[in-house]
Structure 1
Amino acid sequence: MNYLKKNLKNLKKKIMIKKKLQKNAKKIDRFLINFLKKQNFSSLVKPMKYGAIAGGKKIRSTIILDAGKMFNISEKKLLNICAAVECIHSYSLIHDDLPCMDNDAIRRGKPATHIKFGEASAVLAGSSLLTLAFEIIADKKYSIHPKMKNEITRSLARCSGHTGIAGGQELDLKFENKKKNINQIINMQKKKTGMLFNFCLYAAGIVANKKKNEKSFLGNLGEEIGLLFQLTDDFLDTKGSSKLVGKPIKKDKKKGKSTLINLMGEEKAYLYAKNLKRKILRKLKKHGKKANELINTIEFILERKF
């Protein structure tokens, strides 16, 4: 009986988290559609929308909104940050899929942007999403303190370029078919994936007007959540469903990617991920029930099927 109750409780949690992700994704998509309305004169808007809107879990946005609940921040103060993060994430995916990088033809269950619109348009659309992110933060309608805007802008720039996503992608490509140790792989994955998650919690700390040490704590926590997310992505590539994931699977091994799974095997990598999740949840204990939404999202990250 207890086993059935536990299973039912877990099922309810999964349904709730999926509904939350869908609800948040709609909000961010609506925000981006409205923001881009005044820019429809550019022919790049179509591939930009294709790459960023109506697809993906928008899990980074959910992390930001969950942190907002933890700190009693109104959603209105966070939507610009969410939209900016999704622009950065989408730019990185568009560029990652290019033939000169990971050469992937499918993304989010549909043709990759360069397949749909051509390589040149994909490069330009990705670059435009990168710059759009900062336009969204700088928007005069986004009414937070100018000092907060400046800090958010600096932090987002640091996470998006050579010290973050772009630097991580370069290492990912350079590490192909090479033997790398655990620290090198974790460093690469923290840059490629972890840094943007770092920003998600760090930015919430900025808007919540937290002190420097608390913002650093949040950033590091976000980085660990990002690493957990990347580990799950690697598991899904190994044994997930391409229909659910929305892209071909078993690519990492074929390309000789440096992942913790390829280094230590599935069993040890999963144990590492479970221990990492426990570590993250322990750090959130001090926030009590206010952290429940964020905790539920973290639980979902490791067990997700898409």
Structure 2
Amino acid sequence: MTNFEQRLTEVADKVTVALDQLIPPASGPEANLMRAMRHAALANGKRMRPFFVLETGAMFGASEKSLLRTAAALECIHCYSLVHDDLPCMDDDDFRRGQPTVHKAFDEATAVLAGDALLTLAFKILASSETHDDPAVRVLLIERLADAAGARGMVGGQMIDMLEEESPRDLNTITRMQRLKTGALISYALEAGGIIGHAREAERNALAGFANDLGLAYQIADDILDAEGDESIVGKAVSKDKDAGKANFVTLLGVDGARQRVRLLAAQAKEHLAIFRDKAHILLHSVDYVLNRPR
């Protein structure tokens, strides 16, 4: 295991512990809902979005407690989106992160409610004074997450994804869809670390550029995994887009073309970090990780 992978694992473990405390087991009528939430949130995952929150904030000397709670809130949003994406009315997946999806482990109604509950929990976490003692910082974190997760962000991207039958995808449409569906939460992760760390405007702009290129590279790499990955390693179904007849970066560019696009975006992402010099070494390694994700 490389030093970067070790750090990624350490952050993932910290976030899992935080989520375990924020979503405690319950007794009584709502117990099954809490079990479904924990099933979704505590499953093994890379926790890349929380990782970016913590590592970006660390560059500015931000409080780890603030960063960790913000990272946990973001992971709640991400997990809720996966629960809903896996539903039969969306992608209809049976496995996620190496275990049955929530609607398979429980039922569809419970999965919808578990996703709703994780979504609302995220904003409760950010609104708490435990996350940050400055109300202005908390309000900004909430506002920016609402933008990233909503109709002009992740949910909007999912809507574009669902409209393919009415409007076949071209490269521009797919790029826009993925900048919203996948890229918006990655952008928030880096922005949130900068907000908590009181980054300067030039630094925030550099992080935004990095997030923009890395988020798209991450999704193209995901499309390559979907085309070539091993389900037992990836932890979810593969060849989904191909089986569904959906266009993606691989079907439009070919595997070699998609890999070339990822390399170009990765190089651009690294250039954005030059302003931070050695402080950004962990983020630089994250770009290499995206390029070489396990298949």
The normalised TM-score by structure 2 is 0.94
Q: CA deviation at 1:243?
A: 0.5
Residues 108, 247 of structure 1: 8 Å contact kept: yes
Residues 203, 275 of structure 2: 8 Å contact kept: no
For residue 244 of structure 1, what is the aligned residue in structure 2? 233
Q: CA deviation at 1:223?
A: 2.7
Residues 77, 144 of structure 1: 8 Å contact kept: no
Q: What do residues 235-259 of structure 1 show as CA deviations (whole Å, max 9, x unaligned)?
A: 1111111001001111111112231
Residues 69/182 of structure 1: CA separation in 2 closer, same or farther (3 Å cut): same
Please state if 1:24 is matched with 2:16: no
Residues 209, 269 of structure 2: 8 Å contact kept: no
**Structure 1 residue corresponding to 2:21, chosen from 20, 28, 34:** 34
Q: What amino acid does structure 1 have at the position aligned with 2:4?
A: I
Residues 129, 135 of structure 2: 8 Å contact kept: no
Q: CA deviation at 1:31?
A: 0.7
Alpha-carbon separation, structure 1, partners of 2:106 and 2:170? 38
For residue 206 of structure 1, what is the aligned residue in structure 2? 195
Residues 114, 122 of structure 1: 8 Å contact kept: yes
Equivalent residues in 2 for 1:247-286, closer than 5 Å: 247-286=236-275
Q: CA deviation at 1:106?
A: 0.7
Q: CA deviation at 1:157?
A: 0.5
**Structure 1 residue corresponding to 2:37, chosen from 37, 44, 48:** 48
Gaps of 5+ in 2: none
For residue 152 of structure 2, what is the aligned residue in structure 1? 163
Q: CA deviation at 1:224?
A: 2.2
Residues 36, 110 of structure 2: 8 Å contact kept: yes
Q: What amino acid does structure 2 have at the position aligned with 1:115?
A: K
Question: Could you tell which deviates more after superposition, 91-100 or 164-173?
Answer: 164-173
For residue 224 of structure 2, what is the aligned residue in structure 1? 235
Please state if 1:146 is matched with 2:145: no
Q: CA deviation at 1:26?
A: 1.2
Give the SS at the match of 1:143.
coil
Residues 172, 257 of structure 1: 8 Å contact kept: no
Alpha-carbon separation, structure 1, partners of 2:68 and 2:94? 31
Q: CA deviation at 1:225?
A: 1.6
Residues 77, 149 of structure 2: 8 Å contact kept: yes
Q: What amino acid does structure 2 have at the position aligned with 1:243?
A: S
Aligned length: 293
Alpha-carbon separation, structure 1, partners of 2:205 and 2:57? 17
Residues 26, 34 of structure 2: 8 Å contact kept: yes
Residues 219/281 of structure 1: CA separation in 2 closer, same or farther (3 Å cut): same
Identity of aligned residues (%): 37
Q: CA deviation at 1:38?
A: 7.9
Alpha-carbon separation, structure 2, partners of 1:216 and 1:38? 41
Alpha-carbon separation, structure 2, partners of 1:33 and 1:49? 7
Alpha-carbon separation, structure 1, partners of 2:201 and 2:165? 37
Q: CA deviation at 1:69?
A: 2.5
Give the SS at the match of 2:136.
helix
CA root-mean-square deviation = 1.7
Q: What do residues 168-209 of structure 1 show as CA deviations (whole Å, max 9, x unaligned)?
A: 111111125854222211100000000001101111111121
Q: CA deviation at 1:146?
A: 0.8
Gaps of 5+ in 1: 1-13
Alpha-carbon separation, structure 1, partners of 2:123 and 2:209? 23
For residue 221 of structure 1, what is the aligned residue in structure 2? 210
Q: What amino acid does structure 1 have at the position aligned with 2:84?
A: H
Residues 43, 97 of structure 2: 8 Å contact kept: no
Residues 177, 256 of structure 1: 8 Å contact kept: no
Residues 177, 258 of structure 1: 8 Å contact kept: no
Alpha-carbon separation, structure 2, partners of 1:272 and 1:178? 24
Residues 17/217 of structure 1: CA separation in 2 closer, same or farther (3 Å cut): closer
Alpha-carbon separation, structure 1, partners of 2:207 and 2:137? 16
**Structure 1 residue corresponding to 2:162, chosen from 151, 154, 173:** 173
Q: What amino acid does structure 2 have at the position aligned with 1:134?
A: F
Structure 1 runs, 4 residues or longer, greater than 6 Å off:
none
Please state if 1:96 is matched with 2:117: no
Residues 198, 223 of structure 1: 8 Å contact kept: yes
